[in-house]
Amino acid sequence: MLNEDNRLYIEAIKMAAGSVQYKNLSVKNTFIDTVSQLYQYYERFQNIQYLETALLHIQAYLEMGFPYEDGKPIYDIVLKKLKTTKELMFPKKFYSPKKIKLNKTQVKSMIKKWPASSYQTMKIDEVVADIIKKVKQKERGIFYYKCAVIGDLYELVINEKETFFHDLRRGIFYTFIV
């Protein structure tokens, strides 16, 4: 089912759903609620395209690093109605969330390159220490880290519902094991 058009839809879904974090809403819950609503539309109108759209939302959810199990009840219903399974649609090797231990080595591994330069506002070790401190202290907010040399941009989101790190250039999401 994944073609170039669907890839674009999934990226758009991730951007749209991800935007709720700016109003302190849960991205994870927004996805689960959206899939539930799409399923209700399917039930009411008997239009399979609602289920196909729900499938795109599930894939976007998994690509953002959220665990399937949290939405399992509704996700399983959608997949069953589409006559498919989680294992066929979302192989574990592609959709297992990237979970990072909150230590210097693991946190540093999320940042691809950060060359030393007088243009950098923070050294790589300072960035890593800042991320660890903010996550440990549950300092609420959205924090950005930009590599001045390469231009990579990273986003750390901490709110009462969830904490994650987003490599904006590569579209990779990480959660933390605290």
Q: Are residues 89 and 18 in the same domain?
A: yes
Chain segment 26-50, per-residue pLDDT in tens = 999 999 999 999 999 999 999 999 9
Domain boundary among 95, 121, 136: 95
Q: How far apart, in whole angstroms, are the C-alpha atoms of residue 118 and residue 139?
A: 28
Q: Are residues 171 and 114 in the same domain?
A: yes
**Start-to-end Cα distance in the chain:** 36
Domain boundary among 61, 95, 129: 95
What is residue 123's predicted lDDT score, i.e. its pLDDT?
A: 96
Q: Are residues 16 and 57 in the same domain?
A: yes
Q: How far is CA 64 from CA 44, 123, 125, 144, 163, in A?
A: 29, 27, 26, 18, 12
Element holding 98 (H helix, E strand): strand 98-101
Q: Are residues 75 and 8 in the same domain?
A: yes
Q: How far apart, in whole angstroms, are the C-alpha atoms of residue 35 and residue 43?
A: 12
pTM score > 0.95 for this model?
Answer: no
Domain boundary among 95, 129, 159: 95
Average of per-residue pLDDT values in the chain: 92
Provide the pLDDT confidence category of residue 1 given band limits of 50, 70 and 90: very low
Q: Are residues 109 and 75 in the same domain?
A: no
Chain segment 47-98, per-residue pLDDT in tens = 999 999 999 999 999 988 888 999 999 999 999 999 999 988 988 766 766 8
Q: Are residues 127 and 71 in the same domain?
A: no
Query: If we measure between CA atoms, which residue out of 159, 174, 144 comes closest to residue 29?
Result: 159
Q: Are residues 8 and 91 in the same domain?
A: yes
Q: Assign 110 to helix, strand or coil.
A: coil
Residue 63 tokens, joined: 């690509």
What is residue 58's predicted lDDT score, i.e. its pLDDT?
A: 96
Looking at residues 152-162, what average pLDDT do you find? 93
| Domain residue limits at 160 | 98-177
Q: Are residues 74 and 106 in the same domain?
A: no
Q: Are residues 90 and 106 in the same domain?
A: no
Q: Are residues 12 and 77 in the same domain?
A: yes
Q: How far is CA 103 from CA 66, 106, 121, 143, in A?
A: 21, 6, 22, 19
Number of domains forming the structure of the chain: 2
Vertex 59, ends 47 and 39: CA angle to 5°?
30
Residue 96 tokens, joined: 């297992």
Q: How far is CA 173 from CA 67, 82, 99, 125, in A?
A: 12, 27, 9, 21
